[in-house]
Chain A
Amino acid sequence: MVRFKSRYLLCEVCVPDRSSLQLLEDRTIYNTLRAAVNRAHGDYGSALFNIGVIVKYLNAHTGVVLIRSRKKHYRLIWSALSFITCLENRGQKVQCFLNCLHVGGTIRTCQKFLVKYNRQQLHRMLPACKTDAEKQEVRRAILSCSLSNVREEEADEDGSDDDGDEET
């Protein structure tokens, strides 16, 4: 039995101005990526793009994008990522570049990596905070996503089979 193997590219959209991220949509990324692949690799590239590429997850607040592609052609897609200079959404152009953080074989591995990465970022943000209020916020955020919290949630969920949003 032959499996379809895929590769998931975890990318981050880096913009100079954070606020311009807001209009991000998965369709935007998809179309921009397709144009880039077409420019870089021509018809062959667009055909390959058509088959297996899809934007699986997008977080507009943090700029995290998860792109899935076939295992055979992920390098092609990856190479086209660096040619993206701007994202266009409803007439507004946003200057950016896509930074690939991680390549995983499954969504789960990418999610695990993302957890680690976010935690690292939070830890790095803490000393860089200027005001005290900010520091408090960041500390609270770090605490909120600590492992103990999550384990409590798990226990609750298993027991009551509920949505488990008491703790946040």
Chain B
Amino acid sequence: MTGAKDRMREKKMKNQPRNVIYTSSGRGTGRGQGSQACGWVRGHQHGGHSYSQDLPKYITASSFAKARAAEVNAMLKAVSKPAGSCHIFTALPKHMRRRALSHSTKRLPSRLREGAQRLAERSQRAPEKEKKQEPRSRSRRARRRHGNLLLEFNRRQRKNKWLETHIWHAKRFHMLKTWSYCLPLKPTAKSFRASYRAMNTHALLQVTLAYMCFMFVIFSEKSVTYLHLLYKADQFPEGSLGPADFLWRPRVPDASDRQLWIWIHPALKQDVLSELQLVCQCFEAVSVSEESRPAVELPAGRKRKRDEADAEQPSKRLLGDGTRPAGAPVRWQSPDTAITISDLTMEIVRYRLIGPLAHVVLTDTLQPASEEPRSRSTDEAGVSVHQQQTDIFHLLRGVCSTAELPAGCVLGLTVDDPRLTLPQKRGKSVPDLQQSAEDSGVRDLTLKGVAAHCSQSALWDASARDCVTHNRLSEQELNRRRTELLVPGSRLSAAPQAAVPLLLVHQGGRVRGEERLHWGSGWDLLLPKGWGMAFWVPLVYRGVRVGGLHMSVKHSQFMGQPHFPHDYPDCPAGVRFQSEQEAELLQKFKRRPPSKRTNYIKHGCLAPFRCPWQQLTEEWEELVNLSAETTGGCRTGPFTVLRSLKALRRLSAWSRPSSRRSSSALTHATAAALQQECGPSLVWVRLRLLGKGQPALHAMVCVPTTSDLQLLLKDAHSSGPEEPRHKDHLKRLRQNTTGPEDPARAVRGVCPAPLPSVLPHCSRLTLGWVTQGDFSLAAGCGEALAFISVSGLLHTILQQPQEQRGLILLRNPSSLQYRFARISIDV
């Protein structure tokens, strides 16, 4: 019962007497009707006879009489005062009162009607006033009126934050709600191949969804080295948290602080912030925002770029600071080390353009500011920085492909509002090949990259950002100015205060491995808050294709890089992601009718939804130790992912077929040495199928037997061995128990929870599982990215003949056919 109902009832029943009983603690009120019968209480107290602890042995007539009298009084009170009545009801004579009067006032004569209505309203409102503070929600129509839409949107954003371009995406994309953001997943139109072509030849645009949370660290000169040490990682190699992007602010003269921006994935935020806080000892929250002072000058341009280049590679170790529950930036300061950390989620908008013609799109869309907003520092030659940046920007057009520029260079720029030069129709930007006349300048650019001081931008200043966000022209204003133009269609004049500071960061493409180097390079565009849509629409009008989360996963896959939550099984965020994915896949599986599901037990697939990495590594350790009979104890810690370059290079060399290099030749001893060094770990490999086959998610990577390899030798196009069908032992159980079985216990077709030994379950030993597998449009055959146990890999390679090293078998969870594939570890 709600409180209102109770209150109404009490109001009605306040005259009714309650149960009168004896209790040992004095006055007893039983479960009766209504609140106090006051006369009753007082009567007895005045009678002077207190019914306290001991019950009286004799009840005399006087007390009995008193009791009777009191009861009479109570009854009279109850009778004479009708419940919940107002004078309306008593004003009517008895023969005109009707039962329906209490709820419909129309049955009253008109002279009494208004009074009754007023009373009814008052009695309705009285208990409600204290209950409902919020206004009653308006009708749907009122809520959807244009002016009120903002309220509606804010209400909807409470649970999952919206990006700036949310509405644009929502009309064209399927959205996904994860990590407390509402992100575009994939376009509603079928565009997988088109997006791939765009990434390959033209340009693809994405809101960089992976790196949205954003830390900002200022610290003074003396603690620079301190912070560098931290990045060497506390608990290497076990305590990995996830990848991050670092961006250092270029040093500017007459400043003593440096600033660092750290971009991390939103799933990491919680872990990261607490770590960073712990490490930098920044616990005091400072609510007053301070002016950020620019950093000390750096003499050589080279160092800056190297910093960038190092920093731009996603570092696998991140000491994170936890994140706050979003919203306004908050700074933490540490008293002794003078480091300040502030959380600037959603303060900067970041767009990623991928593809060889990304720079052309940028040069089309952006126009450097015609007048300089504030004269910034000039360098020795007296040429202002802005002019230099503009020159470099113009040089960009002459570059043939984005991949030509060295990775990690940063260009700061101040541009005009791109909406001013919005084309009337959508078109496709094409490269301008005439500008290769300025050969020397272009060549300089491609070889050396951008000079250090040209990477400055006002974007680093919080005050400048706020100012620019504030001065943004609204769409309405812009349209009004367009109508006022004398010649329709000409360029609008720019407002000087609205020159937007930007950062253009170059992202290198594929850097590891030997094929298709620099594929997938692009530019990142960093903008201040509020300018998201203003830049998005002009970019789209230049003919880029827009991709979502799905496309970014594919992008990482084609580049051969691990994509953050999917391919990091050792980070806590990765583990969380895996359990979520498992739940999702299991749900999907359960939705299908039982006879139409793949019976994974019969296919011998133990882990179609979730890969038990820990179990795999432990079992391999056991197996290897058993076979080698070494007394060196197998390390059974939590598994890690092998990331040290040295070890990876060696493994990569060993898994190739014929290497005549004598250095680090593969022998049992060297293999054992490497294994000891690494401990129970997994390695990230790329598998390419030799012939037919399309790997699926969680396909099994298995060790081929010698007979399999001979089969391949005999016939290079053989399709590979087949797995005999397993028996479904649960089926018999199901048939025996005819009653309704506990659904949580066993899902038909999936192995129940405590998995049996993973390795020897199928006819070939399991090495690992595929995390991303697909037909690769770039390679023209099936490719998969998988994690493999290091000990297993070494064990396998040792047993294979020289020419056929690195061959393994791959089997999809819903098939019995093994396919041959070749391992390559990209370094």
State A115–B71 Cα separation when bound (angstroms): 8
Within the complex, what minimum Cβ distance (angstroms) separates B90 from chain A?
10
Interface check B76, CB cutoff 8 A: yes
Q: At the interface with chain A, which of B14-22, B479-487, B761-769?
A: B14-22
Shortest beta-carbon contacts, A-B, top 4: A137-B62, A61-B67, A141-B69, A145-B72
Tell me the total A-B contact number using a CB cutoff of 8 A. Answer: 128
Within the complex, what minimum Cβ distance (angstroms) separates A117 from chain B?
9
24 sample A-B contacts, Cβ–Cβ < 8 Å, listed by A number: A19-B57, A22-B22, A24-B21, A57-B19, A58-B19, A61-B59, A61-B67, A61-B71, A108-B79, A114-B71, A114-B72, A114-B75, A118-B69, A122-B72, A129-B61, A137-B61, A141-B66, A141-B69, A145-B73, A153-B77, A157-B81, A164-B39, A165-B42, A168-B42
Overall SS of chain A's interface: helix
Interface string of B16-52 (1 = CB under 8 A from A): 1101111000000011110010110111001000000
State A122–B73 Cα separation when bound (angstroms): 13
Interface check B68, CB cutoff 8 A: yes
Q: Which residues of A contact B595 (CB under 8 A)?
A: none
Q: Is the CB of A125 within 8 A of B20?
A: no
Q: Which residues of A contact B31 (CB under 8 A)?
A: 26
Interface string of A157-168 (1 = CB under 8 A from B): 100000111001
Q: Which residues of B contact A144 (CB under 8 A)?
A: 43, 69, 73
The answer to whether residues A122 and B19 also contact, given A108-B79, A153-B77, A165-B38 and a CB cut-off of 8 A, is no
The answer to whether residues A122 and B68 also contact, given A57-B33, A108-B79, A165-B39 and a CB cut-off of 8 A, is yes
The listed residue with most B CB atoms (<10 A of its CB), out of A125, A153, A163, A165, is A165
Q: Considering the complex, give the chain A residue whose CB is closest to the CB of B16.
A: A107
Q: Which residues of B contact A129 (CB under 8 A)?
A: 61
Q: Which residues of A contact B59 (CB under 8 A)?
A: 18-19, 21, 61
Q: Considering the complex, give the chain B residue whose CB is closest to the CB of A163.
A: B38
Q: Is the CB of B58 within 8 A of A19?
A: yes
Residue of A58, A142, A153 touching B69 (CB-CB under 8 A): A142
A145-B76, A168-B43 known, 16 other contacts, Cβ within 8 Å:
A25-B21, A26-B19, A57-B19, A60-B20, A61-B59, A61-B64, A61-B71, A62-B71, A107-B16, A111-B79, A114-B71, A138-B65, A141-B65, A150-B80, A153-B77, A154-B81
State A52–B46 Cα separation when bound (angstroms): 38
Interface check B585, CB cutoff 8 A: no
Interface check A75, CB cutoff 8 A: no
Interface check A56, CB cutoff 8 A: yes
Within the complex, what minimum Cβ distance (angstroms) separates B239 from chain A?
63
Q: Considering the complex, give the chain B residue whose CB is closest to the CB of A113.
A: B75
Interface string of A36-73 (1 = CB under 8 A from B): 00000000000000000000111111101000000000
Interface check B56, CB cutoff 8 A: yes
The answer to whether residues A145 and B69 also contact, given A61-B20, A168-B39 and a CB cut-off of 8 A, is yes
State A26–B22 Cα separation when bound (angstroms): 11
Residue of B43, B58, B67, B81 touching A62 (CB-CB under 8 A): B67
Size class of the contact patch on chain B: 35 or more
Interface check A5, CB cutoff 8 A: no
Chain B interface residues toward A at CB < 8 A = 16-17, 19-22, 30-33, 36, 38-39, 41-43, 46, 55-73, 75-81
State A62–B73 Cα separation when bound (angstroms): 14
State A168–B42 Cα separation when bound (angstroms): 7
The listed residue with most A CB atoms (<10 A of its CB), out of B43, B73, B75, is B75
Interface check A2, CB cutoff 8 A: no
Q: Is the CB of B21 within 8 A of A60?
A: yes
Within the complex, what minimum Cβ distance (angstroms) separates B56 from chain A?
7
Q: How many residues in A have their beta carbons less than 8 Å from beta carbons of B?
A: 46
Interface check A102, CB cutoff 8 A: no
Within the complex, what minimum Cβ distance (angstroms) separates A22 from chain B?
5
Q: Which residues of B contact A57 (CB under 8 A)?
A: 17, 19, 32-33
Q: Which residues of A contact B70 (CB under 8 A)?
A: 145
State A137–B43 Cα separation when bound (angstroms): 13
State A112–B67 Cα separation when bound (angstroms): 17
Q: Is the CB of A150 within 8 A of B76?
A: yes
Interface string of A12-43 (1 = CB under 8 A from B): 00000011011111100000000000000000
Residue of A21, A108, A115 touching B72 (CB-CB under 8 A): A115
Residue of B30, B55, B61, B71 touching A22 (CB-CB under 8 A): B55
State A64–B62 Cα separation when bound (angstroms): 18
Q: Is the CB of A111 within 8 A of B19?
A: no
Q: Is the CB of B39 within 8 A of A138?
A: no
State A142–B64 Cα separation when bound (angstroms): 12
Interface check A82, CB cutoff 8 A: no
Q: Which residues of B contact A21 (CB under 8 A)?
A: 59
Q: Which residues of B contact A59 (CB under 8 A)?
A: 19-20, 67, 71
Q: Which residues of B contact A112 (CB under 8 A)?
A: 75, 79
Q: Which residues of A contact B16 (CB under 8 A)?
A: 107
Interface residue ranges of A116-166 to B (CB < 8 Å):
118-119, 121-122, 125, 128-129, 133-134, 137-138, 141-142, 144-145, 149-150, 153-154, 157, 163-165
State A133–B66 Cα separation when bound (angstroms): 13
The listed residue with most B CB atoms (<10 A of its CB), out of A58, A118, A129, A134, is A118
Q: Which residues of B contact A153 (CB under 8 A)?
A: 39, 77
State A118–B72 Cα separation when bound (angstroms): 6
The answer to whether residues A58 and B30 also contact, given A25-B21, A115-B76 and a CB cut-off of 8 A, is yes
Within the complex, what minimum Cβ distance (angstroms) separates A64 from chain B?
7
Q: Is the CB of B65 within 8 A of A137?
A: yes
State A143–B41 Cα separation when bound (angstroms): 18
Q: Which residues of B contact A23 (CB under 8 A)?
A: 22
Q: Is the CB of A60 within 8 A of B62?
A: no
Q: Is the CB of B42 within 8 A of A24?
A: no
Q: Is the CB of B79 within 8 A of A115?
A: yes
Within the complex, what minimum Cβ distance (angstroms) separates A153 from chain B?
7
Interface string of A70-108 (1 = CB under 8 A from B): 000000000000000000000000000000000000011
Within the complex, what minimum Cβ distance (angstroms) separates A112 from chain B?
6
Residue of A19, A25, A138 touching B55 (CB-CB under 8 A): A19
State A165–B70 Cα separation when bound (angstroms): 12
Q: Considering the complex, give the chain A residue whose CB is closest to the CB of B18.
A: A57
State A167–B604 Cα separation when bound (angstroms): 89
Q: Considering the complex, give the chain B residue whose CB is closest to the CB of A60.
A: B21
Q: Which residues of B contact A58 (CB under 8 A)?
A: 19-21, 30
State A132–B558 Cα separation when bound (angstroms): 111
State A128–B61 Cα separation when bound (angstroms): 10
Q: Considering the complex, give the chain B residue whose CB is closest to the CB of A167.
A: B39
Q: Is the CB of A125 within 8 A of B30?
A: no
Q: Considering the complex, give the chain A residue whose CB is closest to the CB of B99.
A: A3
Q: Considering the complex, give the chain B residue whose CB is closest to the CB of A58.
A: B19
State A35–B19 Cα separation when bound (angstroms): 22
Q: Is the CB of B62 within 8 A of A134?
A: yes
Q: Is the CB of A111 within 8 A of B78?
A: yes
Q: Is the CB of B65 within 8 A of A25?
A: no
Residue of B33, B43, B62 touching A138 (CB-CB under 8 A): B62
Q: Is the CB of B55 within 8 A of A150?
A: no
Q: Which residues of A contact B73 (CB under 8 A)?
A: 144-145, 149-150, 168
Within the complex, what minimum Cβ distance (angstroms) separates A33 from chain B?
16
The answer to whether residues A24 and B79 also contact, given A61-B64, A122-B68, A145-B72 and a CB cut-off of 8 A, is no
Q: Which residues of B contact A138 (CB under 8 A)?
A: 61-62, 65
Q: Which residues of B contact A22 (CB under 8 A)?
A: 22, 55
The listed residue with most A CB atoms (<10 A of its CB), out of B20, B31, B36, B62, is B62
Within the complex, what minimum Cβ distance (angstroms) separates A65 from chain B?
10
Q: Which residues of B contact A118 (CB under 8 A)?
A: 68-69, 71-72, 75
Q: Which residues of B contact A64 (CB under 8 A)?
A: 71
Q: Which residues of A contact B60 (CB under 8 A)?
A: 134
State A154–B39 Cα separation when bound (angstroms): 12
State A35–B431 Cα separation when bound (angstroms): 97
Q: Considering the complex, give the chain B residue whose CB is closest to the CB of A55.
A: B19
Q: Which residues of A contact B33 (CB under 8 A)?
A: 56-57
State A99–B694 Cα separation when bound (angstroms): 90
Q: Which residues of A contact B78 (CB under 8 A)?
A: 108, 111
Q: Is the CB of B39 within 8 A of A60?
A: no
Residue of A18, A26, A111, A121 touching B68 (CB-CB under 8 A): A121
